[in-house]
Amino acid sequence: MPHSPHLSRSDFVKVVTAFLGSIMGLIVGIPAVSYLISPARKGSAADDWIPLGLLENYPIGVPTLFSFTRTKVNGWERTVNSYGVFVIRKSDQEVTVLSNKCTHLSCRVNWIEADQHFFCPCHDAQFGIDGEVLGGPPPRPLDAYTGEDVKIEEGNLFIHFVEG
Partner 1 sequence: MFQKIYAWFDERLGLTTIYNTTLDRKVPKVNWWFTLGSASLFLFLLQGATGILLSIYYVPSPDHAYDSIQYIMTGVSFGWLIRGIHHWGASLMVLTVFLHMLRTFFYGAYKYPREFTWVTGVILLISTLGMGFTGYLLPWNQRAYWATTVGTSIAETVPWIGPFINQVLRGGTDLSAVTLARFFSMHIWWFPAIIAALIGIHLYMVIRLGISHVPTAED
Residues in touch with partner 1 (CB under 8 A): 28, 31-32, 34-36, 38-39, 41, 75-77
Q: Least distance from C-beta 155 to partner 1, angstroms? A: 39
Residue 39 or 128: the one with the smaller Cβ distance to partner 1 is 39
CA distance 161 to 54: 18
Q: Least distance from C-beta 26 to partner 1, angstroms? A: 13
Q: Which residues pair with 116 in a beta bridge?
A: none
Residue 35 or 79: the one with the smaller Cβ distance to partner 1 is 35
3-state helix, strand, coil in the chain (%, to 5): 25, 40, 35
Residue 36 or 114: the one with the smaller Cβ distance to partner 1 is 36
Residue 1 or 40: the one with the smaller Cβ distance to partner 1 is 40
Reduced to 3 states, what is the DSSP secondary structure of residue 53? Answer: strand
Q: Least distance from C-beta 23 to partner 1, angstroms? A: 15
Distances (CA, A) of 66 to 50, 98, 141: 11, 10, 19
